[in-house]
Structures are given as structure tokens and as C-alpha cells.
Structure 1
């Protein structure tokens, strides 16, 4: 499939995959292993399972970075049609509104436009995954005790990108011929978070019907 997602990134600096694994590191090998099982057309449900003898935190770290890169890319494809005017509120349909909160400027949950929310979200995740204290790159450096807690927060926020894209911008995805790519990425994400219990069912609710059609 020619990848319509790739073309977008030359024009938009903001949504470019940010984090790479250094060749030669064990995490790079794990990343390759994860990619190989996907490329082999292995059932996504099996592809997410922890390979024998590997450390779960390493496996989770590799996937979180990969999902960040891919979802970043997906949002980048529709970012030209997600504007202050079209999406003044970060939402997933009339029932779900997402407010932004962080330790700096927005200490209380704050209603923002979708593009503003997305920018803050991608920047926030980038800071987390580039922080050696949370995502150590050297094998042997232990993960912090709160690693999975941080991961759950990252993944639940990344899920909101899927919610917004599917509910408000899916026509744009279809127009670009990227529907199969986005659906595969979503399924991969869904199987991963459910395999390792990294998201509450409540948070998965906005795409529940679509998920049951696509993933069961």
C-alpha cells in the first residue's frame, strides 16, 4: 500500500515521529521483533503477546514509543481539517469531552480546542518518553516503580486521539485512502492495552461499538 501518511510529515514539523531506538541495543532488537511479527501478518492478538524470556516493561516501553509515533502520524494526516473552527472542543461526539490537565499551565482540567489539546498531548508524551528516568534506554537500568502508572496515562490519552479522529475526521481518513492503515493501528493498540490491562473499560467506552465489530 502506498502510504498517504508519510507525505504529510514533510510539510508539518509538529507531527513527526520523535523517538527512535538505537541500533545495537536490546530494545532495538525487541522493536525489530515486534515489527517482524506484524509484517509476517501474524494475528495482531498474538503479535502483542510478550515473547518468551523477555521483560514485560521493556516490551511495553517499545510499544508505547511505537504507538506514539504512529498515532502522531495519523493525527498529522487530518490536522489540516482539525482547526479551532471545526473542533473548538476536544471531544468524541456529543457524549465525550476531554479536558486538559498538567503540572504546569493547566492545573485544573481545562476545556481546549482539539488542535490545542493535541499539541499539548503530543508534547507532553514526548517529554515522558525522552525522560531517561521513566524510559531508560540502557538495558540494566531499572524502570521506575511508577512506570506502568505513567504508561497507563500516556495510553489513555493516546486513545483519545483515536476517539477524536474516528468520530470527527474519519471521512478525511477515507478520502486519503488511509482507512485500512488506521484500522490496523487501532486494532493493534486495542489488543495491546487489553493484553496487559493498561486501560480501564470505562475509558474504552467511546469506541465500544466499533471495537466490538472490528476486534471480536
Structure 2
């Protein structure tokens, strides 16, 4: 008795002029064809020749970043770090009204690079452009005001980890520069400050290479601009600097 319903079910469908598979093929929902994805090439206004040739000074910046004779290394590193902080802070202040949570919902840089902030506990945080920049400037300001990190009195010594602090500060400042190039270069052109931006980038890159502060991978997002500005030292000279 238990096999009878099964046989009837089979006999009923076996008399159809087309198979169950044919029914499925006829009435199944057609698959949606995937539209070919096209990669939109990123427009980089800062690479246009009239902007890459803009300079503020005619001096060789390579000479400006080198350690002066008789000056202690850490003193030189800190003084230049303060200069980078002040200059980048001023330039960002010019475009800050254009850098909002709505216009810059993520901290983005060229090559679709997104920067994340890590808090004191190492937790990764997604930030808007102004939020990330505020974290950067607040972190640097906190270190500047800490005399155990940036001593200002005679006889005070720099902490043993001063180089790692310099690395972190310059890395954060470069992120802000990269964001300005990606999202706010047009505004700086309007205010005729793009040459100042290029000058700061050149100095930061050369300074970093001179004292081996940032790895070349840090500059990948702006490597095309760095190449156009002809500021990247040759591999041989860089190896010689590291050996010395």
C-alpha cells in the first residue's frame, strides 16, 4: 500500500508530453545578466604640469633638510617636526570649511586609499576626514605640550623613543597631506596655495629619506606626484645613506 501513491505520482507525470525538467526550464526566472564593470579612472588635478611646476622657493630643499654642523640630531628632528605640524595645520585650516562630515565621509587619499584611526587600546576606527584630522592634530599637540617628549629647558633630555614618536607624527601628517591632495587640491588652487602644498610635500619626503624616518611604502599613494616633482632619491644614494 505504501508504494501505490508513489507509482501513481510517477504514472501521472510520465504521461505528460514534456518532462519536469522542461517545465522548470520554461518557467524558471531568467538570470539577470551582470553588467560589465568599468573602472573610473581617478582624476588627479595635482598631476597637471602647470601645478607640478609650481614652486615657492628656488633653493635646493635637499640642503635645507640636512643636519647643520654642531646641532644635535634630536633637536633638528623636533624643530622640523614642529615646522611640518604648523605649516600643514595652516594649510588644512584654509580648506577646513570644505572638509566636512558630509563632503568627506571617510578619510580618503589618492588611489582609493582609506586611513583608519587606532585609539589608545588599538581599536580600529573609521573616521570622516575632519574627525581623522582632528585626532592627528590633537595627538601632535598633546606631544608638543609634553615636556618629557619635547623638552624646552636646558639640561632636559629627549626620551629614548623619540624616533618612533617622530615616525608616528610624520606619518599622520603625511596622511593629512594626502587627503588634501585628493579632496581639496582644487580649493588650494583657488587660493593660490598649491605651490606651498608642493613645497611642504617635497620637504617632508626629503627630510624623511635623509633621516630614514618613513618607509618608501608610506608614500605610495602619491608616488606619481613624487615622481613628477623629481624628488625621490635614487636607490643607490638611498642605500648609501642607510649604510652610513
Which 4+ runs in 1 deviate beyond 6 A? none
Q: Count how many residue pairs are aligned between Structure 1 and Structure 2.
A: 176
User: Of 212, 227, 237, which residue of structure 2 is paired with 1:212?
Assistant: 227
User: Of 135, 144, 149, which residue of structure 2 is paired with 1:129?
Assistant: 144
1:37-72 CA-partner distances (Å, limit 9, x unpaired): xx9953101111000111110000000011100000
Matches of 1:131 and 1:176, distance apart in 2: 35
- Residue 93 and residue 47 in structure 1: after superposition, are their counterparts in 2 closer, same or farther (change >3 A)? closer
The alignment status of 1:97 with 2:119, answered yes or no, reads no
Q: SS of the counterpart of 1:62?
A: helix
Matches of 2:174 and 2:57, distance apart in 1: 26
Q: SS of the counterpart of 1:115?
A: helix
- Residue 128 and residue 185 in structure 1: after superposition, are their counterparts in 2 closer, same or farther (change >3 A)? same
Specify every segment of 5 or more residues in structure 1 that has no aligned partner in the other structure, as ranges. Answer: 1-38
User: Of 36, 41, 48, which residue of structure 1 is paired with 2:65?
Assistant: 48
Contact 1:92–1:206, Cα closer than 8 Å, also in 2? yes
Matches of 1:181 and 1:40, distance apart in 2: 9
> 5 Å matches for 1:134-213?
134-213=149-228
Q: SS of the counterpart of 2:104?
A: coil
Matches of 2:226 and 2:115, distance apart in 1: 20
TM-score by length of 1: 0.78
Contact 2:119–2:125, Cα closer than 8 Å, also in 1? no
Tell me which moved more, 206-215 or 88-97: 88-97
TM-score by length of 2: 0.69
User: Of 60, 74, 96, which residue of structure 2 is paired with 1:79?
Assistant: 96
